[in-house]
């Protein structure tokens, strides 16, 4: 029997030591985050919208695409993966059905939020939230699906009420969602250290906060991870860094290439990874080993014969 990644994630979160969970926008960025040594990863809805559609995170990505790419990401890494299903695909029954699919994929955890569909990135303006009662129904339905499957998948209930109604309402909703069966509450858009300290005290369960890109903080005060651990925060998400880093690197490279009078950047190796390093990272050598093990010798000799 393989490692139960949901159980692994649950145990790490229970320590309340600010487990850093970066966001990825595809399987490749997921593997890079894993290789850097992080212990868990989450699928970034913001990143998927940008990488798949080249559009903002305002509810445009279809749920089938979210699930397909979550499956690719979960297959690509060996650390726990948290899915992002935005508002749950509809009502409580839709949310429960999606939970069943994620469980079948072996996904370790899932984020669901109480925004009105179509949602938008938590740090964008113009957010609206559904009633707490409707969100409670979604959480209860997902928890029932998890119970029926006999699994440990972590349900992280996100509330965006802080930006709409204030911190007190966000804390009230967090506690309702935890009582309904969520394992962790995520107050998106929380602003200051004092607000986080209050939330840790008053939320009756695990708390997650969001540092967006770990560089600017956007709307949430940037607090060092060891300090968040001392406060008792369970999870710290850094959801948008991967797509922002990719955006800058690609933009700067192709602008430089277009501006080059020769049309090339000969010798400017600072722009790119070494080709051999890249092919090693994506596992080309393993595929060559499998070819040598399973393909007929004559096929291999013809396939890789030196060409004049």
Average pLDDT estimate for 186-214: 95
Span of 115-129, 266-280, 293-307 with lowest mean pLDDT: 115-129
308 has a pLDDT exceeding 50: no
Average pLDDT estimate for 146-152: 96
Instruction: Let me know: does 157 contact 143? Beta carbons within 8 Å.
Output: no
Share of the chain above pLDDT 70, in %: 96
Q: Which pLDDT belongs to residue 120?
A: 72
Q: Which pLDDT belongs to residue 123?
A: 64
What pTM was estimated for this model as a whole?
A: 0.93
**pLDDT level of residue 127 (50, 70, 90 thresholds):** confident
Quote the CA–CA distance of 262 and 259 in Å, as a whole number: 9
**pLDDT tens digit string along 52-72?**
999 999 889 999 999 999 999
Average pLDDT estimate for 37-64: 95
Share of the chain above pLDDT 90, in %: 89
Q: Which of 282, 276, 296 is nearest to 304 (CA)?
A: 296
- The answer to whether the peptide bond before residue 170 is cis (omega within 30 degrees of 0) is no
Give phi and psi for 51, each to the nearest 5. -75, -35
Choice between 120 and 215, residue whose per-residue pLDDT is larger: 215
Average pLDDT estimate for 84-109: 96
42 has a pLDDT exceeding 60: yes
User: What's the mean per-residue pLDDT of the chain?
Assistant: 94
Average pLDDT estimate for 121-144: 89
Instruction: Let me know: does 119 contact 86? Beta carbons within 8 Å.
Output: yes
Quick one: tokens of 96? Answer: 């429960």
Q: Which pLDDT belongs to residue 217?
A: 67
Q: Which pLDDT belongs to residue 282?
A: 96
b/e code 95-131 from CB counts within 10 Å (16+ = b)? bbbbbebbbebbbbbbbbbbbeeebbbbbbeebebbe
Instruction: Let me know: does 217 contact 211? Beta carbons within 8 Å.
Output: yes
Instruction: Let me know: does 164 contact 119? Beta carbons within 8 Å.
Output: no
Could you please state the CATH topology (level 3) that the domain comprising 5-246 is classified under.
Answer: TIM Barrel (3.20.20)
Average pLDDT estimate for 65-83: 97
| Domain boundaries along the sequence of the chain | 5-246, 273-308
Average pLDDT estimate for 262-274: 97
Q: Which of 104, 107, 219 is nearest to 160 (CA)?
A: 219
**pLDDT tens digit string along 233-242?**
999 999 999 9
Q: Which of 230, 142, 225, 235 is nearest to 187 (CA)?
A: 235
């Amino acid at each position: 029997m393989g490692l139960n990644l949901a159980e692994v994630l649950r145990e790490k979160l229970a320590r309340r030591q600010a487990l850093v969970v970066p966001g990825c926008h595809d399987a490749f960025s997921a593997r890079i985050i894993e290789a850097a040594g992080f212990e868990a990863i989450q699928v970034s809805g913001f990143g998927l919208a940008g990488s798949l559609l080249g559009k903002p995170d305002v509810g445009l990505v279809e749920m089938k695409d979210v699930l397909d790419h979550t499956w690719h990401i979960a297959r690509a890494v060996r650390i726990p993966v948290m899915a992002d299903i935005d508002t749950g695909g509809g009502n409580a029954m839709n949310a429960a059905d999606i939970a069943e699919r994620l469980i079948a994929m072996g996904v370790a955890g899932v984020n669901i939020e109480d925004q009105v569909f179509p949602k938008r990135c938590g740090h964008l303006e113009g957010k609206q939230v559904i009633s707490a009662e409707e969100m409670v129904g979604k959480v209860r339905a997902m928890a029932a699906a998890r119970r029926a499957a006999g699994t440990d998948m972590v349900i992280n209930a996100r509330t965006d009420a802080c930006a709409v109604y204030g911190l007190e309402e966000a804390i009230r909703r967090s506690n309702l969602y935890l009582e309904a069966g969520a394992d962790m509450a995520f107050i998106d858009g929380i602003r200051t250290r004092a607000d986080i300290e209050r939330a840790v005290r008053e939320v009756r369960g695990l708390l997650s906060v969001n540092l967006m890109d770990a560089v600017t903080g956007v709307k949430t005060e940037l607090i060092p991870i060891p300090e968040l651990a001392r406060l008792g925060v369970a999870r710290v998400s850094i959801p948008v860094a991967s797509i922002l880093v990719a955006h800058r690197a690609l933009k700067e490279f192709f602008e430089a290439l277009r501006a080059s009078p020769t049309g090339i950047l000969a010798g400017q190796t600072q722009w790119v990874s070494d080709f051999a390093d890249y092919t090693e990272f994506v596992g080309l050598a393993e595929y060559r080993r499998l070819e040598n093990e399973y393909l007929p010798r004559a096929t291999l000799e013809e396939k890789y014969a030196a060409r004049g």
